[in-house]
Structure 1
Amino acid sequence: MKTVETENEGLKRGFMLTIPAKDIEARVDQEVKRIAPQVRMPGFRPGKVPPNLIRKMHEDSLRGDALNASVQEGVQQLLTEQKIRPAMQPQVELDEGYAHGKDAEVRVNLEALPDVPTPSIDDIALDRLTVEPDADALEEQIKTFASQSKRWEDAPKKHAAANGDLVVMDFEGSIDGTPFEGGKGEDMQVELGSGNLIPGFEDGLIGAKAGDSRNVEVKFPDDYQAKNLAGKAATFAVTVKNVKTAGEQKIDDDFAKSLGLTDLEQLRGLIRGQMEQELNGLTRTHMKRQLLDQLASRHDFPVPPSMVEAEYQNIVAQLRHEASHEEDEKAALAEIEADADDYRRIAERRVRLGLLLSEIGSANGVDVTEQEMQRLVMQAASQYAPKDRENFVRYIQQEPMAAAQLRAPLYEDKVVDFLFAKAKINDRKATRAELEADLESEEGHVHGPGCGHDHGEKPAKKTAAKGKAKAAAKDEAVAEAPAKGPVEKASAKPKAAKPVKDAAPAKAPEAKAEAKPAAKKAPAKKK
């Protein structure tokens, strides 16, 4: 094989590979010999079909397979000889003039991973803000929990239903006098004022008493999931079977026992444990922010533009998803566009930090074990319907890039834990409010190359969701996996039309883009 370098600028590399025709023919001969014992043809004993007839029968597929194998082997040989680690999948293109019997000329273009300088990790100092669960907050959570576990009691017969009461009813909906599919229900319970029904329905039940029958006039939302009902006026014939009021829920041992616990103290212990786990997570995130800021400030080296672009698209897609929940979605999107350069710097920072963490892990023997990887696969597979789990496991086994993306977060966490163990830790007590404010702030961190800030400029006022998303973006690195692709939205199947708000289509959940360049696809997650 002949190799000619066509481009060498920064991390961009280009080559022209020439694969001799005789090498391709040799592969065809090998394949003919391999399949000959399996070929069956009338007039010949099994395994005795002449090679020239086998060639004639399978000419196109044999040559196609031989050419593909030659190109793959040639690209791999090129990467080995040139000692190149590609940042993303190399672009491989066969010359259009190729024909049978000619040498194959193949263009290979790629971006190489940079030579990462020896990371500086010996004098890292971190603050560990420790927060004790607040006693008042603990009691408030127990009260909230008790309020969500309401004890309903039958109201007096002449009691008129009000907000906060529970109405038990039968109903049947119709449009222009004609009942519609999915519009009928029996013994349905709804808490008035909860907002669980389509607009106007709960209001139409205010004042109703047990035994009442009334017609409730409503209009289905324009974006209602059942398209045949969207935007249409409907009448629901309702029979109120019972009205219940919320009895006082005493917070005592009996309440705890109703939850299957021993006593109230055990409930307090469980909630305290949940609070401690959440606070520990916030503390770790705060320490990780400091660690990544220090690593970013100490290291500056070129990173592959293709990885930066892919990570930028991932960040922007996540921010746009957050913007879709803002009151003024257009204004939020405009802010994202205005700060595009800022997000590109964050994307570059994340890619650079990912390469640093990979280098640190590799140099210090940090790895994800086979058992840990199997556990990751099983956990991810559990998100799919039972019939799709085997397909998902097979997909991960066959797609190295998909496996790398699944593995990357755990690998990153293990490298971060390694660096925490080496760092000088200064323990400092703080309140939850102080810890959360520090996490959401875009200031107060170590400044330096790659930190993602436009130094010297006063930050613009941000929407709440966008500010949190931006802060969270800085807490991540793209370790040991190619940059993720844009976030895609999963589709939701329509449900039967009912007067419940939840039957309207919710915005589809985010789903990670599939790893390229494979043609295989992972099975769809269960809804």
Structure 2
Amino acid sequence: MAITVETLDKLERRITLSLAADALQNEVDARLKKLARTVKADGFRPGKVPMNVVAQRYGYSVQYEVVNDQLGEAFAKAAQEAQLRVAGQPRISEKEGGPVDGQLQFDATFEVYPEVAIGDLSAVELERVSAEVNEAAIDRTVEILRKQRRTFAQRPATEGAADGDRVTIDFEGKIDGVPFEGGKAEGFQFLVGEGQMLEAFEKAVRGMKTGESKTFPLAFPEDYHGKDVAGKEADFLVTVKKVEAQNLPEMTEEFIKSLGIADGTVESLRADIKKNLEREVKFRVLARNKAAAMEALLKAVEFDLPNSLVAAESDRLVEGARADLKARGIKDADKAPIPAEMFKPQAERRVRLGLTVAELVKANNLQAKPEQIQAHIEELAQSYEQPAQVIAWYMSDRQRMAEVEAVVIESNVAEFIFSKAKVADKAVGFEELMGQQAGA
């Protein structure tokens, strides 16, 4: 019998399902008889409980189970016959009026996947960035490695704090003469000139000697993370307890070997740094270009989204937010009242992009090939001391392999988009790509 599909809204559909009442009852009776073989009841031996007792105790739950099973099968068969791509789970309700000609009637309301029509990608304009690792980038990395292993020695009392020094201070801040939360500390340490404190605070401490005190005004930025003080001006009293000058290790053979460079030479260290930076640059360039390609792809499509998929994605984002709070040690994070609605725009974007990418992959055979997956894992593993173990770690877990496959597919899609679009190549500086300021 042909399936009648009723259109309720853009993607919402409804079909009527029928279950034969006698067949339904026969299945219920069969399951109850099977259950009676093992069910236990006071006053009866196992397997000897009367059927009327079994039916009274378990009849409703068994009937509910049978109806659900048969409705699921009937819906799947009807959707297949009608060639429907169902999105999410159907909502099924019994029709009023009881059985018709021995048939129980149910309405199944559901959504279908939209038709995804991708526009002409040759009209898309895209910027493709590239970057190189220069000598300055290697120099900065060497300095970072030295700073990570620096030591400190107390300055003479006659010398003031300078950039790179570690200072220990007591401080108290007041706004309109009133102390504020987080505005007081004792024995507080920070490194001068490394951006750990507001610039005005560092400027005030710079040049102060051990034992000195100073009062100075400080205006908190409008976008300061502490909302109670953002945009306000405070007066701070600072007392310097200790000033320690940094001592950077010399580039000796011993120091270089401590960094894992076997021959202890500067040349080998710089070569190793360059190799690692080039790997990082490659990943960042790919990520930036991929993001640009995906953004362009979204602009080339327009279609309605199944509400069920958006709701499911919003729920996943909420659970992710709760997991993040839990990881930060927030109490009762799993019960945090996070409204799914706040994630709706992000969920809609994810669903739209997911459906579009899936269509592009299917239409253009952009699936991840085994050799691509293997190459990506091997490249990821090169960042670790024992690559073989990392490769085995990925290969041994289906979920991790699926994540790698998804990344490779996204890369294939991005390459395809760039191959079709109008592309303007742009070289960017290492600092810009890495989100650093020159000289940092």
TM-score, L = length of structure 2: 0.57
How far apart, in 2, do the equivalents of 1:259 and 1:348 lie?
46
How far apart, in 2, do the equivalents of 1:28 and 1:173 lie?
75
Structure 1 letter corresponding to 2:94 = D
Tell me the secondary structure at the aligned position of residue 62 of structure 1. helix
- Contact between 1:2 and 1:19, CA under 8 Å: does it hold in 2? no
How far apart, in 1, do the equivalents of 2:35 and 2:232 lie?
65
How far apart, in 2, do the equivalents of 1:56 and 1:115 lie?
52
Shift of 1:409: 6.5
Instruction: Give the match for residue 89 of structure 1.
Output: 88
How far apart, in 1, do the equivalents of 2:186 and 2:21 lie?
73
How far apart, in 1, do the equivalents of 2:60 and 2:234 lie?
63
Structure 2 counterparts to residues 76-475 of structure 1, below 5 A = 76-86=76-86, 88-95=87-94, 97=96, 103-112=104-113, 114=115, 132-143=132-143, 145-146=145-146, 150-162=150-162, 164-168=164-168, 188-194=188-194, 196=196, 208-210=208-210, 241-247=241-247, 250=250, 253=253, 255-257=255-257, 259-261=259-261, 262-281=264-283, 284=286, 305-306=305-306, 310=310, 351-361=355-365, 407=402, 410-411=405-406, 413-414=408-409, 416-417=411-412, 432-433=427-428
Instruction: Give the match for residue 28 of structure 1.
Output: 28
Structure 2 letter corresponding to 1:75 = F
Closer/same/farther in 2, CA of residues 221 and 143 from structure 1, 3 Å limit? closer
- Contact between 1:13 and 1:111, CA under 8 Å: does it hold in 2? yes
Structure 2 counterparts to residues 476-487 of structure 1, below 5 A = none
Shift of 1:201: 6.9
- Contact between 2:298 and 2:352, CA under 8 Å: does it hold in 1? no
- Contact between 1:256 and 1:267, CA under 8 Å: does it hold in 2? yes
Shift of 1:45: 0.6
Closer/same/farther in 2, CA of residues 77 and 102 from structure 1, 3 Å limit? closer
Instruction: Give the match for residue 61 of structure 1.
Output: 61
Closer/same/farther in 2, CA of residues 190 and 272 from structure 1, 3 Å limit? same
TM-score, L = length of structure 1: 0.49
How far apart, in 2, do the equivalents of 1:115 and 1:350 lie?
11
- Contact between 1:368 and 1:411, CA under 8 Å: does it hold in 2? no
How far apart, in 2, do the equivalents of 1:219 and 1:290 lie?
38
Closer/same/farther in 2, CA of residues 272 and 72 from structure 1, 3 Å limit? same
Tell me the secondary structure at the aligned position of residue 83 of structure 1. coil
Shift of 1:82: 2.7
1:297-323 per-residue CA deviation (whole Å, 9 max, x = no partner) reads 9xx999663289949x98xx9xxxxxx
How far apart, in 2, do the equivalents of 1:424 and 1:223 lie?
41
How far apart, in 2, do the equivalents of 1:210 and 1:434 lie?
41
- Contact between 1:360 and 1:415, CA under 8 Å: does it hold in 2? no
Structure 1 letter corresponding to 2:428 = A
Tell me the secondary structure at the aligned position of residue 157 of structure 1. coil
Instruction: Give the match for residue 45 of structure 1.
Output: 45
- Contact between 1:84 and 1:113, CA under 8 Å: does it hold in 2? no
Tell me the secondary structure at the aligned position of residue 58 of structure 1. helix
Structure 2 letter corresponding to 1:94 = S
How far apart, in 1, do the equivalents of 2:410 and 2:23 lie?
45
- Contact between 1:11 and 1:304, CA under 8 Å: does it hold in 2? yes
Is there any run of 5+ residues in structure 1 with no aligned partner, and where? 121-125, 318-343, 376-395, 398-402, 440-463, 465-527
Instruction: Give the match for residue 457 of structure 1.
Output: none
- Contact between 1:90 and 1:108, CA under 8 Å: does it hold in 2? no
Shift of 1:291: 8.3
How far apart, in 2, do the equivalents of 1:183 and 1:290 lie?
45
1:367-406 per-residue CA deviation (whole Å, 9 max, x = no partner) reads 789x99xx9xxxxxxxxxxxxxxxxxxxx99xxxxx7x99
Tell me the secondary structure at the aligned position of residue 5 of structure 2. strand
Instruction: Give the match for residue 6 of structure 2.
Output: 6
Shift of 1:245: 1.9
Closer/same/farther in 2, CA of residues 98 and 39 from structure 1, 3 Å limit? farther
Tell me the secondary structure at the aligned position of residue 270 of structure 2. helix
Tell me the secondary structure at the aligned position of residue 268 of structure 1. helix
Structure 2 letter corresponding to 1:413 = V
Is there any run of 5+ residues in structure 2 with no aligned partner, and where? 121-125, 318-347, 378-396, 436-440
Closer/same/farther in 2, CA of residues 110 and 139 from structure 1, 3 Å limit? same
How far apart, in 2, do the equivalents of 1:346 and 1:230 lie?
34
Structure 2 letter corresponding to 1:352 = T
Closer/same/farther in 2, CA of residues 227 and 22 from structure 1, 3 Å limit? farther
Closer/same/farther in 2, CA of residues 296 and 15 from structure 1, 3 Å limit? same
**Count of residue pairs the alignment pairs up:** 364
- Contact between 2:132 and 2:429, CA under 8 Å: does it hold in 1? no
1:265-312 per-residue CA deviation (whole Å, 9 max, x = no partner) reads 233123211222134335645876898899999xx999663289949x
How far apart, in 2, do the equivalents of 1:40 and 1:230 lie?
69
How far apart, in 2, do the equivalents of 1:93 and 1:54 lie?
28
Closer/same/farther in 2, CA of residues 292 and 183 from structure 1, 3 Å limit? closer
Higher mean C-alpha deviation, range 161-170 or range 66-75:
161-170
How far apart, in 1, do the equivalents of 2:174 and 2:349 lie?
56
How far apart, in 2, do the equivalents of 1:190 and 1:436 lie?
25
Structure 2 letter corresponding to 1:265 = E
Closer/same/farther in 2, CA of residues 358 and 244 from structure 1, 3 Å limit? same
Tell me the secondary structure at the aligned position of residue 107 of structure 2. strand
Closer/same/farther in 2, CA of residues 224 and 57 from structure 1, 3 Å limit? farther
Instruction: Give the match for residue 15 of structure 1.
Output: 15
How far apart, in 2, do the equivalents of 1:110 and 1:148 lie?
56
How far apart, in 1, do the equivalents of 2:243 and 2:201 lie?
16
Closer/same/farther in 2, CA of residues 38 and 435 from structure 1, 3 Å limit? same
Tell me the secondary structure at the aligned position of residue 152 of structure 1. strand
Tell me the secondary structure at the aligned position of residue 42 of structure 1. coil
1:141-172 per-residue CA deviation (whole Å, 9 max, x = no partner) reads 43455456554332112323355431235789
Tell me the secondary structure at the aligned position of residue 161 of structure 2. coil
Structure 2 letter corresponding to 1:54 = V
